[in-house]
Amino acid sequence: MARAEIVYFSAMGHTEAISRSVRDGLASVDGVEAGLLRVDEVEGDEAWGRLDRADVIVLGSPTYMGGVAADFKRFMDQSGSRWYGRVWMDKLAAGFTVGGGLSGDKQSALQSMHVFACQHGMIWVSMGVGVREPGLDRLSSSMGLMCQAGNAPAEQTPPAEDHATAVAFGERVGRVAVRWVRGDDAES
* Interface positions with ligand FMN (CB under 6 A): 10-16, 62-66, 98-101, 104-106, 149
Beta carbon nearer to ligand FMN, 14 or 91: 14
The span from the CA of 72 to the CA of 150, in Å, is 21
CB 19 within 8 A of CB 6: yes
The span from the CA of 161 to the CA of 38, in Å, is 24
Beta carbon nearer to ligand FMN, 54 or 98: 98
CB 34 within 8 A of CB 55: no
Nearest-approach distance from CB 96 to ligand FMN, in angstroms: 11
Residue 93 one-letter amino acid = A
Which residue is nearest to ligand FMN, using beta carbons? 104
HSE, side-chain direction, 13 A CA sphere, residue 133 = 15
Beta carbon nearer to ligand FMN, 29 or 76: 76
Nearest-approach distance from CB 61 to ligand FMN, in angstroms: 8
The span from the CA of 145 to the CA of 12, in Å, is 19
Nearest-approach distance from CB 146 to ligand FMN, in angstroms: 9
Nearest-approach distance from CB 28 to ligand FMN, in angstroms: 23
